[in-house]
């Protein structure tokens, strides 16, 4: 499957520019043969948290129609990164997944809110998994801070996901954590990780370095520190090969993982 990785320079609070740039890259990816494209986190507004009450997409209507229209026209699957939406008077960081027929497959509200950036003061957290099928490929999707919770990504893998899409706005000072955590999530879940970060101009500090990692932990592609579109051909049959060679899933002992560990004094 050819994956179009859109490492977008998200303009802080500039909604029209962000939709225009996203469309430009989605169209270019389709013209270059991509079968699925992936966008970064909060690409419609950036982290303009204090302005989201006026900037957020109401009910996600614009974004859903935007993604569904392009997907159907271009016959391309879209992992829609995430956008800021407003629903019932509350704000969410939401990922939409649309297939090449223009059908909305899944919508996911970010479960783990990053208190260091005050997300919890402005956004509501979700409480459901993000599982979907692209063509015949079982997949899952998470957002940024979620990758620091291995049990959350493992839950998606146990439910059948062979590729986990990650959309992020991961800051430059902790980019080494980004790289290490993504490789660990790929190795421990024996799945592909397709992780798209953003880059930015001031006042935010994000430097891209998006990644595609295969189940052995090998990095197939790393993005630059600038806006770019990369088309990466991924062979998902590698998942079954790795899981057969090292049968981690068969050797699990879940009965030992669910008990309460009492503090020893």
DSSP the chain: -EEEEEE-B--TT-HHHHHHHHHHHHHHHHHTT-SEEE--TTTTT-S-GGGHHHHSEETTHHHHHHHHHHHHHHT-EEE---EEEEETTEEEEEEEEE-TTS-EEEEEE-SS--GGGTHHHH-----S--EEEETTEEEEEEEGGGGG-HHHHHHHHHTT-SEEEEE---BGGGHHHHHHHHHHHHHHHTSEEEEE--B--TTS-BB---EEE-TTS-EEEE--SS-EEEEEE--TTHHHHHHHHS-HHHH--GGGTSS--PPP-
Q: Which of 41, 107, 119, 214 is catalytic?
A: 41
Q: Which of 110, 119, 191, 214 is catalytic?
A: 110
- Is position 110 annotated as part of the catalytic site? yes
Q: Which of 35, 107, 138, 144 is catalytic?
A: 144
- Is position 41 annotated as part of the catalytic site? yes
- Catalytic (active-site) positions: 41, 110, 144
């Amino acid at each position: 499957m050819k994956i179009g990785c859109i490492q977008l320079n998200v303009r802080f609070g500039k909604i029209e520019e962000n939709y225009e740039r996203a469309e430009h890259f989605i169209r270019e990816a389709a013209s270059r043969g991509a079968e699925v494209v992936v966008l970064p986190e909060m690409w419609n507004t950036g982290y303009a948290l204090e302005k989201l009450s006026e900037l957020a997409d109401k009910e996600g209507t614009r974004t859903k129609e935007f993604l569904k229209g392009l997907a159907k026209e271009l016959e391309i699957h879209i992992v829609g990164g995430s956008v800021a939406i407003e629903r019932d008077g509350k704000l969410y960081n939401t990922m939409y997944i649309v297939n090449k027929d223009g059908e909305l497959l899944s919508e996911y509200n970010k479960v783990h809110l990053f208190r260091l950036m005050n997300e919890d003061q402005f956004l509501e957290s979700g409480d459901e998994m993000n599982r979907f099928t692209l063509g015949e490929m079982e997949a899952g999707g998470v957002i940024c801070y979620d990758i620091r919770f291995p049990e959350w990504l493992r839950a998606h893998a146990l439910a059948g996901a062979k590729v986990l899409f990650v959309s992020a706005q991961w800051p430059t000072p902790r980019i080494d954590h980004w790289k290490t955590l993504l490789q660990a999530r790929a190795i421990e879940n024996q799945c592909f990780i397709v992780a798209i970060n953003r880059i930015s101009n001031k006042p935010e500090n994000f430097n891209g370095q998006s990644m595609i990692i295969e189940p052995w932990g090998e990095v197939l592609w790393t993005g630059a520190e600038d806006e770019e579109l990369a088309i990466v051909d991924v062979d998902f049959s590698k998942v079954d090969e790795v899981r057969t060679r090292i049968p981690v899933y068969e050797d699990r002992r879940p009965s030992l993982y669910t008990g309460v560990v009492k503090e020893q004094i």
